[in-house]
Amino acid sequence: MKKVAVYTVYAVGMHHWGGHELCVGDVYFIKDEPENTKDKNAIAIFADDELKYKRAYLSRDDASVVSQLIRENLTCGKIYLKQKGPAEKFKKRCGPKQRCNIWILCAEESVGKIRELLSKYQDLEERRGSNN
């Protein structure tokens, strides 16, 4: 098994689930929600490893990449998320966003395909950086 890190994903919607931000230092777990009617690529963030206590979602851009990894069965087991700092409000019409890192466990033979998909994610990050 290998552990692949994806840096600087954003958690959003924390205020809908009873908090204004994820607690710094806690470990969270993520799961895809293909049945979600608002976004078929939705990735929910949970406070517990049994995936009972929803706390937020990944942003749509980030969720589209992570959901593809899950759909293609490139992950093994749970995916972990840890926040990097306090939530920030980026735009007038958007709620708070919180920068996070995720870690994906995968089989050795999946690493190349994951890196290929994440290179597209890197392009997204560069575009995101040029918009700020």
pLDDT digits (tens, 9 = 90+) for 86-99: 888 766 667 788 89
Q: Alpha-carbon distance 66 to 39, whole Å?
A: 13
Please give the backbone phi and psi of residue 54, each rounded to the nearest 5 degrees, phi first: -70, 140
Confidence of residue 128 (pLDDT cuts 50, 70, 90): low
Q: What is the pLDDT of residues 28-76, one digit of tens each?
A: 999 999 999 999 999 999 999 999 999 999 999 899 989 998 999 998 8
pTM of the model: 0.83
Q: H or E segment at 114?
A: helix 111-131
Q: Alpha-carbon distance 21 to 15, whole Å?
A: 7
